[in-house]
Structure 1
Amino acid sequence: MFNAFERKIAARYLRARRGERFVSIIAIFSLIGIALGVATLIIVMSVMNGFRQELLSQILGLNGDIGVYGAGAPLTEYDAMAGTIRGIKGVTGAFPIVQGEVLLSGPQGGAAGGIARGITPDGLKQLPTVSKHVVAGSLDDLTGSDTIAIGGSLASQFGLSVGSQITLILPQGKATVIGTIPSIQSFRVVAIFQTGMQQYDSSFVFLPLGAAQTLFQQPNTATQIQVFVTDPDHDDAIKQAIAAAFPTQTLNVQDWRQNNDSFLAAVTVEGNVMFLILTLIILVAAFNVISSLIMMVKDKARDIAILRTMGASSGAVMRIFLMCGASVGVLGTLIGFGLGVTFCAYIDQIRQFVQRLLGVKLFDPTIYYLEALPAKLDWHQVTEVLVMSLLLSLLATIYPSWRASHIDPVETLRSE
């Protein structure tokens, strides 16, 4: 498509001589703008993908892929139901839980709202968010009627360690002749977990199933049955199979999408908006390519006229300037790609370095729920960014190249 003569002339025009530095500087700024736009877009989209993946993995690792609830009433035959659900193809685990809101109080005073969840020992071991992140004690000791597992942030807040006592207060309490008395019960800490998600580490506590049933005054019942499946993205058939397995019962079967629909919708909208906003950076850089090429064409008008008189066709002149502009776009895109991928690979190390350098906390887990800055490269998105950048850069070269190819050599040389 481009012969040796055209490539040589284009390369010559990209190397500025004395008196042509201004045009070259504009081209360099155009290249930097495209590189920064591509890198920023790759980094931001990767961080958003990382946030989505980490939050979903934490949510699913604690709440399961599918929840089976009773229609307006707690589940009574929960053991038999869990056994039936575990026999369905594609189900990797099913276990009952009892859950409710409580007020948590430490031995030194202070209080915080939280969620107490009663669960079986086997069920707790199937929660990877908790079972794989125990930092003190053991989940094997979570037995009896007075043991509890708490999050690391909650332990730090109340100054608790394994063996400490924590009090759970149930506002609903018990009805007596003198009124409702809050239900208060103390538990011994046997395990402390650190999931890395601030929301869970500061508010979730786990009890043996029987202890939770006693605390919430729900004997022989369960709030729901948590179900884990092999492929959470394709669980519709399993939901239908669960409903069909209990034809005489009215159940509410919800998957992780229904339970987190507002979160998923917000992440999707934010991702689309950020993509559009950051695309403007590349678009602005593409306009810089247009301006630099127009100035180059104006500066090289005499050279173009001489090339035309020597036999160069208008198509050859157009291809020369197309190469000049496309070279800036391609090189800027490749540099931006390298910067973006490298930054994503070392993003948390970069964050820690900047924090130490500036002495400020850039990523507060109490706000962002995660203790590390995640980044996940989606190569499909990266490809879209690269193609878009190259396309915009190419489109930016068309008009100046067309103008160069239509310069009249006679009029140009006459005015010299």
Structure 2
Amino acid sequence: MPVFPLRPYELLIGLRYTRAKRRNHFISFISLISMLGIALGVAALIVVLSVMNGFQKEVRARILGVTPHLQVVSETGQLLDWQPLLAALGKQSELRAAAPYVSGQGMVSLNEVVQGVMVRGILPTDEQRLTGLGDKMKLGKLDDLRPGEFGITLGSDLARAMGARLGDSVLLITPQGQITPAGMLPRLKQFRVVGIFEVGMAPFDNALVLIHLNDAQKLFRLGEAVSGISGNLHDLDRAPEVALKLGGQLPPGIYATDWTQQNANYFAVVAMEKKMMFIILSLIVLVAAFNIVSTLVMAVTDKQADIAILRTLGASPSSIMKIFMVQGVLIGLIGMVLGVGGGVLIALNIGTLIPFIEHLFGVQFLSKEFYYISELPSDLHSADVIVVASMSFVISLLATLYPSWRAAKVQPAEALRYE
């Protein structure tokens, strides 16, 4: 059926039907439920998408606050002649900084408390340029890690669990053992606690320790070799492109990995969860749209006499159809506007609302012991708001088609037969 631009009388009658005045002068109950359903669905979508964006942004920032954007490593796990490679990487215009590192696993022991840890050997000055870990020191300084002094910095949760304080001596045990007449024995070395850092993510605060690069080479018996070279980029989003470019320039057996590869599983899961939440919460809007269908079907049944009179006065079937489309679209539009307003308001103030609710009910939604972060972040994207609003409007528009088509099919003679 051809649809022409709205005429003033079609719009006015559609608006009048939307108001649907009764004895109490209020909008019909079903129309109100439809509006609230759409508003709830739209607001929930905007808030959830904003929280997931904020979660992804916050975790990415904290991960990159400890791990470098780029790593050059060897298939054997050791880079022997790494100085020329470091000099070559320093000439890459995309890299802001590069430095060698040593990594390995071990255990730390203090006062009969033993914890498994990831040991990372660094050059303090270069590490500050790479990850900014020096800004996350709660006690001590990163520069207190000096070669030959066997100093160590611990994550805040690890230090708390072990009861470690500045100046304490901890025993660092590595799986690289020594062969003795009694068999294979692990290597043990006393380290002095010179600093405590806090990243804000349990996996790092619980299980990461930093020592000087030279001490790590001695501890893991690497000689002059290192585990790899870390790099920091001017534009972290170009990390995959730069890693691919470097891969073609590196010697055989040496390759480059970027932060998206190192954390690929996590970011893939977050992206999938965001899509699934969008689909699931869209069902709220869809259910509300069915209420619009019910409202319009009832309105068409109730207004058959009015439709017949309009038809006898010369109104075309397309005009009747547009009258009821106006009614349905207006319900959806009001719900969408309320939902967008409420969703944006909540998303922008979720950092205030969640602590208030937690304090009011004495609960904590995100425990640092189990989650990457302990606060609920929010990052509102205008693109998400536009997509959600457009989706709800289109669903509302589609919901009006069948009832409006039924209204256009009403025959005046049949409708007025018993009037």
CA contact (8 A) 2:65 2:199 kept: no
Which of 242, 251, 254 is equivalent to 2:254?
251
Mark the CA change 1:415 to 1:164 in structure 2 (over 3 Å): closer, same or farther: farther
Answer whether contact 1:199 1:366 (CA < 8 A) is retained. Answer: no
2:320–2:408 Cα contact (<8 Å) kept: yes
Which of 95, 99, 105 in structure 2 is aligned with 1:91? 95
Say if 2:284 is the partner of 1:281.
yes
What runs of 5+ residues in structure 1 fail to find an aligned partner?
none
* Cα distance in 2, alignment partners of residues 245 and 403 from structure 1: 69
In structure 2, the partner of 1:294 is 297
Contact 2:42–2:339 (Cα < 8 Å) also in 1: yes
Matches within 5 A, 1:57-136: 57-106=61-110, 108-128=111-131, 130-136=133-139
Deviations 1:328-351 (A, max 9, x none): 111111111112222111222221
Name the CA distance, whole Å, in 1 between partners of 2:181 and 2:348. 65
Aligned residue for 1:132, secondary structure, equals helix
Whichever residue aligns with residue 151 of structure 1, its letter is G
Aligned pairs for 1:153-168 within 5 A: 153-168=157-172
- Cα gap change, 1:314/1:244 in structure 2, threshold over 3 Å: closer, same or farther? closer
Change (3 A) 1:130 1:352: same
8 Å CA contact 1:175, 1:181 repeated in 2: yes
Taking the aligned partners of 2:24 and 2:18, their CA distance within structure 1 comes to 10
User: 1:318: Cα distance to partner?
Assistant: 1.5
User: Structure 2 stretches of 5 or more lacking a match?
Assistant: none
TM-score, scaled relative to structure 2: 0.92
Counterpart Cα distance in 2 of 1:243 and 1:288: 57
Taking structure 1 as the reference length, the TM-score comes to 0.93
Q: 1:265 to 1:45 in 2, by over 3 A?
A: same
Per-residue CA deviation, residues 247-303 of structure 1 (Å, 9 max, x unaligned), is: 4x5202212222222223222222222222121111111111111111111122222
Which residue of 2 is the match for residue 9 of structure 1?
A: 13
Task: Give the secondary-structure state (helix, strand or coil) at the position aligned to 2:334.
Answer: helix
Which residue, out of 399, 402, 406, partners 1:403?
406
Do structure 1's residue 304 and structure 2's residue 304 form an aligned pair? no
1:261 match: 264
Written as runs of structure 1 = structure 2, the 5 A alignment for 1:17-416 is 17-18=21-22, 24-106=28-110, 108-128=111-131, 130-144=133-147, 145-247=149-251, 249-416=252-419
| Counterpart Cα distance in 2 of 1:171 and 1:11 | 77
The size of the alignment, in residue pairs, is 414
State the distance in 1 between where 2:133 and 2:286 align. Answer: 46
- In structure 2, give the amino acid aligned to 1:325: G
CA contact (8 A) 1:23 1:292 kept: no
Separation in 2, partners of 1:110, 1:299: 78
| Cα distance in 2 between the residues matched to 1:352 and 1:384 | 29
State which drifts further: 213-222 or 18-27.
18-27
Please report how far the alpha carbon of residue 15 of structure 1 lies from its aligned counterpart in structure 2 after TM superposition.
Answer: 1.9
**Identical-pair percentage:** 38
**Structure 2 contact 38–392 (Cα < 8 Å) conserved:** yes
Report if the CA contact (8 A) 2:240-2:260 is conserved: no
Q: Distance in 2 between matches of 1:58 and 1:374?
A: 13
User: Deviations for 1:116-150, whole angstroms, at most 9, x for unmatched residues?
Assistant: 10000122202436233222221121213321121
RMSD: 2.1
Q: CA deviation at 1:65?
A: 1.7
Q: CA deviation at 1:33?
A: 0.9
CA distance change for structure 1 residues 8 and 139 in 2, over 3 Å: closer, same or farther? Answer: same
2:119 and 2:209 in contact (8 A); partners too: yes
